[in-house]
């Protein structure tokens, strides 16, 4: 590992960095709350968080690909101008040029360097050697497997001999074995004494991957993205994923994500004659989950009652933990299920819903949607107008939920509302309206 320079000064650092984007509809989306994060020599920092929480945005700010909205990005203690010259990035999708050979694709990593041809060739050969592509100099990307293509991506990042390697979900498009091999090779490279590579900053939504690799794990909580948990990981390498200490860290992170997404709310004080509803008390966002996935979860709980734990359910439906959490959360705000600790259990209403015929389900769903404050934005307007311009609704959603993408929330609301028979959206005219009662036939 590189030992020159001041060990204390981070290679890359964010100080109180925030970021907002404009959505397609021109609304300001607040993606990051003030973020403080530093990567120093010798560290392997994993940034963990669910999809859409702002991980890639942080990586782009840290490496100088984009500018923060406020706060500061630093390089070795000084304000960062342009890209961080100590850093190289590997993206999830391999981002190779199909018309260039392996060798030429790797050489792209030296494009901005002022080096002689011979030096460039030597550097390219070395990177290709390190990453195990020695017989593929002249191959084209289409001739390579996904794993080999990602090796080219890594070789391209390493060819400039970066002090810090940044990985954005670099293993998530690969099969399990290929991903594991690449992870181990990168760990070996990072740990080998005397190499140029001193630090790795990796973005991932894979909890096991973070625990397997990182010396420090930063868990990002979503909407807005903020640092929720920082864990030092002193486990010796190579790490055994079966060891109790490894499992303890995985569980700890699982729990922190579950409890922030599915908090056990204190019970509301019931109003006599009124159903208890969490939707009544505050404006709550809804997960961007299609109705079909909610129905799928409820059917699964019904058909396989032995599945009561959120991790088992996640395994069973074969989705990422983060996605499963979103589906569970959707079913929970509709009051079909309850989530004490990491258990997932039917409510009375949920049982009744799943036992009902399509018309009955529709009626129950409508009643639950009615209880969600967010839907009152649309329902109140539909009370007074035949049709409403969706643009106006999106504006109102944006004002109510500054950390959500209002267009996406709108689409999901329409999908839920359509299933409930409460609303529909004409994409040609852009108008939202109450659908005509279908004639009830059997
Ligand atoms: P992650 O990498 O954790 O999945 P991102 O940083 O890519 O999250 O995105 C965070 C949020 O910012 C998402 O809601 C995403 O839709 C939004 N976003 C990202 N890039 C842009 C952009 N260029 N314009 C508008 N919104 C964006
Ligand atoms: Mg990302």
> What is the per-residue pLDDT across 158-187, written as a single tens digit (0 to 9) for each?
999 999 999 999 998 888 888 999 999 999
Q: Identify the residue with better confidence: 113 or 163.
A: 163
Query: What is the mean predicted confidence (pLDDT) over 43-53?
Result: 93
Tell me which range, 72-76, 135-139, 195-199, 310-314, is most confidently predicted by mean pLDDT: 72-76
Q: Which residue has the higher pLDDT, 212 or 257?
A: 212
Neighbour count for residue 439 (Cβ, 10 Å)? 5
Residue identifier of the C-alpha nearest atom 16 of ligand 1: 52
Which atom from ligand 1 is nearest to the alpha carbon of 50?
3
Closest ligand to Cα 48: 1
CA angle 350/351/355 to nearest 5° reads: 115
Q: Which positions ≥6 away from 216 have C-beta within 8 Å?
A: 43, 44, 45, 46, 230, 231, 232, 233
274 pLDDT exceeds 80? no
| Torsion sign over Cα 411, 286, 205, 21 | positive
Determine the average pLDDT of the residues in 110-133. Answer: 91
Residue 441, pLDDT above cutoff 50: no
How many angstroms separate the alpha carbon of residue 191 from the centre of ligand 2?
Answer: 26
* pLDDT tens digit sequence for 298-349: 999 999 988 888 888 888 887 777 788 899 999 999 999 998 877 899 999 9
Least confident span in 98-112, 273-287, 292-306, 375-389: 273-287
The pLDDT of residue 273 is 54
% of the chain residues with pLDDT over 70: 93
For residue 156, what pLDDT is reported? 94
pTM: 0.79
Q: Where does ligand 1 bind, in terms of residues with CB under 6 Å?
A: 21, 23, 29, 31, 49, 51-57, 405
Q: Mean pLDDT over residues 205-213, rounded?
A: 94
Whole-angstrom CA distances from 92 to 144, 299, 333 are 16, 34, 33
Q: Where are the beta strands (DSSP E) in 118-234?
A: 164-168, 199-204, 216-221, 226-232
**219 and 231 Cβ atoms separated by less than 8 Å:** yes
Among protein residues, the one with the nearest Cα to ligand 1's atom 11 is: 52
Q: Quick one: pLDDT at residue 315? A: 81
Q: Whose CA is nearest to atom 24 of ligand 1?
A: 21
Phi and psi at 325, nearest 5°, equal: -60, -40
Q: How far away, in angstroms, is 204 Cα from ligand 2 center?
A: 8
Mean residue pLDDT of the chain comes to: 89
* Distance between CA atoms of residues 306 and 302, nearest Å: 9
How far, in Å, is the centroid of ligand 2 from the Cα of 57?
A: 7
Residues 6+ apart with CB under 8 A from 252: 231
Q: Are 195 and 188 in contact (CB under 8 A)?
A: no
Contact assessment for residue 55 and residue 210, using Cβ atoms and an 8 Å cutoff: no
d(C-alpha 234, C-alpha 219), whole Å: 17
Q: What spatial distance separates the first Cα and last Cα of the chain, rounded to whole Å?
A: 73
Query: How far is Cα 238 from Cα 253, in angstroms, rounded to an integer?
Result: 20
Please tell me the residue having the least CA distance from ligand 1 atom 13.
52
Q: Quick one: pLDDT at residue 282?
A: 52
Question: What is the rounded CA–CA span in Å between residue 310 and residue 258?
Answer: 9
For the segment 417-438, the average pLDDT, to the nearest whole number, is 92
Q: How remote is the CA of residue 406 from the centroid of ligand 1, in Å?
A: 13
pLDDT of residue 276: 44
Q: What is the pLDDT of residues 347-383, one digit of tens each?
A: 999 999 999 999 999 999 999 999 998 999 899 889 8
Q: Rounded to the nearest whole angstrom, what is the distance from the C-alpha of residue 289 to the centroid of ligand 1?
A: 17
Lowest mean pLDDT among 265-269, 300-304, 391-395: 265-269
Question: Closest ligand 1 atom to the C-alpha of 51?
Answer: 4
């Amino acid at each position: 590992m590189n030992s020159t320079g001041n060990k204390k000064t981070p290679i890359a650092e964010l100080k109180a960095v925030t970021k907002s984007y404009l959505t397609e509809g021109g609304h300001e989306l607040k993606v990051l709350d003030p973020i403080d994060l530093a990567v120093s020599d010798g560290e392997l920092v994993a940034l963990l968080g669910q999809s859409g929480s702002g991980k890639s945005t942080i990586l782009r700010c840290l490496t100088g690909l984009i500018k923060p909205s406020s706060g500061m990005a630093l390089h070795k203690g000084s304000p960062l101008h342009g890209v961080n010259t100590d850093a190289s990035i590997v993206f999830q999708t391999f981002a190779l040029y199909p018309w260039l050979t392996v060798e030429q694709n790797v050489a792209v990593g030296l494009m901005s360097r002022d080096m002689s041809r011979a030096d460039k060739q030597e550097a390219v050969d070395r990177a290709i050697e390190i990453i195990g592509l020695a017989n593929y100099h002249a191959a084209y990307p289409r001739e390579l497997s996904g794993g080999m293509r990602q090796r080219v991506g890594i070789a391209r990042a390493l060819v400039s001999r970066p002090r810090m390697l940044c990985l954005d979900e670099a293993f998530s498009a690969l099969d399990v074995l290929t991903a594991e091999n690449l992870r181990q090779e990168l760990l070996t490279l990072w740990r080998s004494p005397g190499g140029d590579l001193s630090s790795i900053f990796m973005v991932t939504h894979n909890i096991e991957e973070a625990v397997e690799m990182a010396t420090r794990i930063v868990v990002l909580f979503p909407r807005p993205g903020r640092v929720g948990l920082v864990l030092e990981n002193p486990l010796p390498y190579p790490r055994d994923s079966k060891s109790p200490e490894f499992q303890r860290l995985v569980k700890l992170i699982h729990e922190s994500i579950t409890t922030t997404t599915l908090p056990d709310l204190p019970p509301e004080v019931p109003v006599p004659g009124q159903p208890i509803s969490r939707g009544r008390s505050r404006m709550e966002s809804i997960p961007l989950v299609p109705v079909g996935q909610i129905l799928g979860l409820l059917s699964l709980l019904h058909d396989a009652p032995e599945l009561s734990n959120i991790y088992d359910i996640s395994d069973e439906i074969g989705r990422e933990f983060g996605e499963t959490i979103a589906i569970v959360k959707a079913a929970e705000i509709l009051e079909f299920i309850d989530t004490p600790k990491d258990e997932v259990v039917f409510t009375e209403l949920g049982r009744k819903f799943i036992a009902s015929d399509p018309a009955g389900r529709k009626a129950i769903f409508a009643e639950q949607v009615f209880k969600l404050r967010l839907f009152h934005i649309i329902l109140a307007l539909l009370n007074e107008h035949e049709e409403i311009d969706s643009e106006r609704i999106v504006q109102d959603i944006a004002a109510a939920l500054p950390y959500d993408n209002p267009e996406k929330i709108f689409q999901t609301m329409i999908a839920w509302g359509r299933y409930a028979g409460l609303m529909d959206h004409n994409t040609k005219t852009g108008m939202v309206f109450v659908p005509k009662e279908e004639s009830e036939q059997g």
